[in-house]
Amino acid sequence: MSKKQLIMESALELFAQQGFDATSVQQITEHAGISKGAFYLSFKSKDELINGLIDHFMLSLISDIDQVVKNHETDANLLYEFYQAAFHSFQKHSDFAKIFIKEQSKTLNEELISKIHQYDKLIDNIILGMLDRIYGEEISQTRYDLIYCVKGFIHTYSHLILFFDVPLDLHTLSRSLAEKTALLAKHSETTFITEELYHTINEPFHVHVTKEQLLEMVEQKIEEVDDSTLEESLTLLKQQMIEPSLSPAIVKGLILNLNNSPACKQIAFLIQGCLGV
């Protein structure tokens, strides 16, 4: 495990317990068994660490959900699968999820708030795509309202999953929420969040990872992975981003390779967006 990862894992644990502000760099380095100076060899500042954590786990969550929504053929169970994926991802990264719920829109930098807002919009788009696919024209009036309902459901029930040590039946929960969402989608008539209102609210934010940033991330990932298939796939896709030469089928296949590895799902999602597949 690289030093960066070690620090991130130690920090994550402490942040989940105590929050960002209440956790000192000293504590993190002690918990990781390294010196304070070593921390600043891996991260320029505490803020950079927080930034990195948010990027890492938000992308993980988003790519988890996105993959399920994209790869699910029969729309019948899609809602159920969506909720399953979301809650499983929360459970898998429960430390980060705790931070995300607790510190959401706290007193962070402008930069961080904007970043979180961007990820939030990504999630909105995934949910919207899913709803449109299932219900189509049927929900043309209420689709934006439904996004907020779905996010409301996830938020409240996440509390249970994260902050109580009770064994929960995620299957029943997902089934229950799928039922509720379907009810709202089929019978809800009053519209509160019109398309206009939705866009007014989200106007100033645009999602964007520059190609340069992404290339850098790919390079870093190449050094991290052990599997040769993954390494090769990443290298080829990096080349493709610099100078397209491969056929679409090959590119899709390479991205699938990455999607099969939990460690590469996130970067797969980004490459996918960059190459427009």
Partner DNA sequence: TATACTAATGACTGATTGGTCATTTGTCAA
Partner DNA sequence: TTGACAAATGACCAATCAGTCATTAGTATA
Residue 239 and residue 271 in contact, taking contact as beta carbons nearer than 8 Å? no
Q: Which is nearer to its own copies, 193 or 246 (CB)?
A: 193
User: From its own copies, DNA, none, which one binds at residue 71 (CB under 5 to 8 Å depending on kind)?
Assistant: none
Handedness of CA 52, 55, 56, 57 (dihedral sign): positive
Give the interface segment with DNA, choosing from 42-50, 62-70, 92-100, 191-199 (CB under 7 A).
Answer: 42-50
**Residue 45 in contact with DNA, rule: CB under 7 A:** yes
Instruction: Give the pair of three-digit tokens for residue 86.
Output: 């979301």
Interacting residues of 81 by C-beta distance below 8 A, sequence separation 6+: 68, 69, 72, 174
Instruction: Give the pair of three-digit tokens for residue 50.
Output: 């927080």
Q: Which is nearer to its own copies, 160 or 277 (CB)?
A: 160
- Determine which residue in the list 47, 55, 132, 231 makes contact with DNA, applying CB under 7 A: 47
Q: Which is nearer to its own copies, 51 or 176 (CB)?
A: 176
Instruction: Give the pair of three-digit tokens for residue 102.
Output: 């607790």
The least distance separating DNA from the CB of residue 117, rounded to whole angstroms, comes to 23
User: From DNA, its own copies, none, which one binds at residue 47 (CB under 5 to 8 Å depending on kind)?
Assistant: DNA
Give the interface segment with DNA, choosing from 26-34, 146-154, 177-185, 250-258 (CB under 7 A).
Answer: 26-34
Interacting residues of 66 by C-beta distance below 8 A, sequence separation 6+: 126, 269
**Residue 9 in contact with DNA, rule: CB under 7 A:** no
Across the chain, how many H-helices and E-strands are there?
A: 14, 0
Residue with tokens 């790919």: 218
Helix (H) or strand (E) holding 87, with range, is helix 78-92
The least distance separating DNA from the CB of residue 37, rounded to whole angstroms, comes to 2
CA–CA separation, 93 and 85 (whole Å): 12
Comparing CA positions, the residue from 276, 256, 69 lying closest to residue 268 is 256
List residues near its own copies by CB under 8 A.
17-19, 21-22, 101-107, 145, 148-149, 151-153, 155-157, 160, 163-164, 166, 169, 172-173, 175-177, 179-180, 183-184, 187-193, 197, 200-201
Q: Contact residues for DNA (CB under 7 A)? A: 3, 23-27, 34-38, 40-41, 45-47
